[in-house]
Amino acid sequence: MRIAHLSDIHFGGENVEAVAAVREWLATDRLDLVVVSGDLTRFGEKGEFASAAAWLRQLPEPQLVTPGNHDAPYLAWYDRLFTPFARYERAIGRARFQTHLAPGLAVYGLNTARGVQPRANWSKGQISRRQVEEALAWFAAAPAESLKIVVCHHPLTEMIGGPMTGKVWNGEAAAKAFAEAGVDLVLSGHIHAPFTWPYGYGDGKTYAAGCGTLSVRERGVPPSFNLVETDVAEIRVTALAWSGSKFEPQQTWSLTRR
């Protein structure tokens, strides 16, 4: 099974060459799913969403796309306060949650971004107990043998030594609940750097995997996306970095499946 994981394209500030090249790369490969884990836009402007939607239409199907904190309008304050993801939903699709079910694969996307929240930095993440419960109920109804993947924008636990933080309220509790329920993988973006690590809960075989950016907002890491490949024994995550002319493997992690 092969899944392309992209994130943080930030249309309005995208790396134009990398965005075009990844479209061509995806078109020539056999993929079971394309995942985009948020921040399709820079400021949540209508023109940025139009560019993001046009780009998504050129990518292979099926797709699962979830919003990020940059997908709430930055300058349109009324919209940000009262309908933070209305623009996203008009251009891209459902913001609250998304699902994909196929033979051997169950994927649930949820929104960890908020338009406003009771702290100074609104870019950080939140995940509610209700969101976790709804995701787990959906997974419980999926075939037991499925590879179970959660997609969200913010990493639920912090990347050690990462270029920035997610500070997800209720993130640790959510990670623990997903691990104890047997979720295999949690895909995220936000920090603009690829990584993997096991959650320290359950049997230790629930993994976080973060994706880099395809924007010019580099944080010491070149633009990249991840290729996730699975078989019965392992999950392999390869970060493919943009060299300026092509995507090349930067690092591969091999994660043992339960």
pLDDT in tens, the chain (258 residues): 999 999 999 999 999 999 999 999 999 889 999 999 999 999 999 999 999 999 999 999 999 999 999 999 998 999 999 999 999 999 999 999 999 999 999 999 999 999 999 999 999 999 999 999 999 999 999 999 999 999 999 999 998 778 888 999 999 999 999 999 999 999 999 999 999 999 999 999 999 999 999 999 998 899 999 999 999 999 999 999 999 999 999 999 999 999
DSSP3 helix / strand / coil % (the chain, rounded to 5): 25, 30, 45
Q: Can you give the pLDDT at residue 159?
A: 82
CATH topology of domain 2-256: Purple Acid Phosphatase; chain A, domain 2 (3.60.21)
DSSP 158: P
- Output the six-digit token pair for 229: 């490949």
**CA dist 74 to 42, 79, 198, Å?**
9, 9, 34
How many Å apart are CA 64 and CA 37, to the nearest integer?
8
Confidence (pTM): 0.97
How many Å apart are CA 177 and CA 218, to the nearest integer?
32
At residue 256, φ and ψ (nearest 5 deg) are -75, 130
Q: Can you give the pLDDT at residue 161?
A: 79
**Structural domain spans, the chain:** 2-256
